[in-house]
């Protein structure tokens, strides 16, 4: 029976170069904390336990992840190096487990890469290493003439010859818990940083004759950590590039793959076209042949087949039917449901409303807390007056209603099926089905009235 896997994620760093009061692992990549990405990767490996070592801003970190019941939180009160951090978690690790060490600020490592590392470890130790053109700042992998790993030297402790080595330690390692526990107990802080380096266990493994395997990531981006806002921005673009490549490999047309932001989960049907500067947040589903114009924000929504989202719209927590036309400059707010063939035009806002099949509101309108039937035409400048200053009220508009321009429907109010509301009306009582309802002041003309004129300066 294989040994159970337990993951230790080191997430206690302060991140001084971020110049921020926010703990480093809470800075966001693709709309989610860095640590959230690492947790997702860890869970993909189906471990028996996940231990997160936290320190700087620890309570904020735990608050953000309060719903993550599968995480064991380990507090590192003083940051004394990576070896010290791992040692804090070991009392909670099962003796027979295999330990995989990850980092809360290294979010792009792939589960497949880590699985290969675990397979390579066997009953020994496995390191994830990489060859870099510029290895500055990384610990160097030192090997003997036979190519066997002998030790790791940290960048600040490396001699000129050692610093010239291009193979670096990424920090990721897999090792049996029993061996790791013994080696951690023997760590010393006799180095330039005065810290307990996890990397020092490599020399201990060599001294005991424990086999050390190495594996390399498929892409160097997998090992990139975040220590500054510049690095955060760089990793963000790398992540978005990966998202764009995934979408295009599934048949999505991206007008410019470099100008796309997926900050959540985006699922697309066939022949979807996405223009530039579109932001997807949360869970978004686009049906077959959906077209999304430039500069749109779609958040936690579903868009039916053949619908078109024209430029500069915001759609949030809403369901858009098939063959709809939205925008430009429309806002679809939470709890809105649009049936098929609905048109929501420029500068129209719809909030917490259901709109029936084939209905249209093409210009400058606000529809809030409303039930709109099918085949309804809402004229320009129409609003549902849903808020009385204390409570929200509902407007009900039946099928085939025509609402003239510049109409105010003062809720609670019902407009019966087939009714017509004259332009410029303020409707405060229910309008009967099939009838024309008007609510206007009497129009008057004053004959001979003269428009005021400005007085001459000498008369002032």
Catalytic residue positions, numbered: 363
Q: How many CB atoms lie within 10 A of CB 118?
A: 18
Task: With CA atoms as reference, report the closest residue to 89 among 11, 18, 204, 23.
Answer: 11
Sign of CA dihedral 93, 94, 96, 98: negative
> Residue 395 and residue 353: Cα distance in Å, rounded?
9
3-state secondary structure of 274: strand
Q: Where are the alpha helices (DSSP H) in 98-224?
A: 111-121, 160-163, 177-185, 201-207
Instruction: Give the Cα separation of 345 and 56 in Å (integer).
Output: 49
Biggest alpha carbon distance in the chain? 110
What is the C-alpha separation between 281 and 342, in angstroms, rounded?
23
371: nearest Cα among 407, 328, 408, 416: 416
Of 74, 84, 47, 285, which Cα lies nearest the Cα of 198? 84
Bridge partners, residue 284, by sequence? 266, 301
Integer angstrom CA distances of residue 338 from 321, 358, 364, 371 = 6, 9, 18, 10
Determine whether 19 is exposed, middle or buried from the number of CB atoms within 10 Å of its CB (0-12, 13-18, 19+).
Answer: exposed
């Amino acid at each position: 029976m294989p040994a159970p896997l337990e993951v230790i994620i080191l997430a206690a760093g302060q991140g001084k170069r971020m110049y921020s009061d926010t703990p480093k692992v809470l800075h966001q990549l693709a709309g989610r904390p860095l640590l959230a990405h690492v947790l997702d990767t860890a869970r993909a490996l189906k471990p028996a336990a996940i231990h997160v070592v936290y320190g700087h801003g620890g309570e904020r970190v735990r608050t953000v992840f309060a719903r993550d019941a599968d995480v064991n939180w380990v507090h590192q009160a003083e940051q004394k190096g990576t070896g010290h951090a791992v040692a804090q978690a070991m009392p909670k690790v099962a003796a027979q487990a295999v330990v995989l060490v990850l980092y809360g600020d290294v979010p792009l490592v792939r589960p497949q890469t880590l699985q290969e590392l675990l397979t390579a470890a066997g009953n020994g130790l496995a390191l994830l290493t990489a060859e870099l053109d510029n290895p500055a700042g990384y610990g160097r992998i030192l090997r003997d003439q036979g190519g066997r790993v002998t030790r790791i030297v940290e960048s600040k402790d490396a001699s000129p010859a050692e610093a010239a080595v291009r193979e670096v330690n990424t920090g990721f390692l897999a090792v049996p818990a029993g061996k790791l526990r013994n080696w951690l107990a023997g760590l010393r802080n006799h180095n330039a940083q005065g810290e307990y380096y996890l990397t020092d266990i490599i020399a201990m493994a060599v001294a005991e004759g424990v086999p050390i395997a190495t594996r390399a990531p498929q892409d160097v981006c997998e090992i990139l950590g975040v220590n500054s806002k510049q690095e955060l921005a760089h990793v963000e673009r790398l992540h978005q590039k990966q998202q764009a490549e995934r979408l295009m490999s599934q048949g999505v047309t991206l007008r410019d793959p470099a100008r796309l932001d997926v900050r959540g989960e985006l699922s697309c049907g066939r022949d979807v076209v996405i223009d530039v500067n579109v932001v997807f947040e949360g869970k978004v589903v686009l049906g077959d042949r959906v077209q999304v114009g430039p500069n749109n924000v779609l958040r936690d929504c579903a868009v039916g087949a053949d619908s078109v989202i024209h430029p500069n719209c915001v759609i949030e927590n809403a369901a858009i039917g098939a063959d709809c036309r939205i925008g430009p400059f429309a806002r679809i707010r939470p709890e809105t449901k649009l049936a098929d063939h609905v048109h929501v035009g420029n500068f129209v806002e719809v909030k917490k409303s259901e709109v029936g099949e084939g209905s249209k509101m093409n210009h400058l309108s606000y529809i809030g807390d409303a039930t709109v039937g099918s085949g309804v035409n809402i004229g320009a400048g129409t609003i549902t007056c849903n808020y009385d200053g204390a409570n929200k009220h509902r407007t009900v508009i039946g099928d085939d209603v025509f609402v003239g321009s510049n109409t105010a429907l003062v809720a609670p109010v019902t407009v019966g099926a087939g009714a017509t509301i004259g332009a410029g009306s303020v409707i405060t009582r229910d309008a009967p089905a099939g009838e024309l309802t008007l609510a206007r002041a009497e129009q008057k003309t004053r004959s001979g009235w003269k428009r005021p004129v400005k007085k001459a300066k000498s008369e002032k």
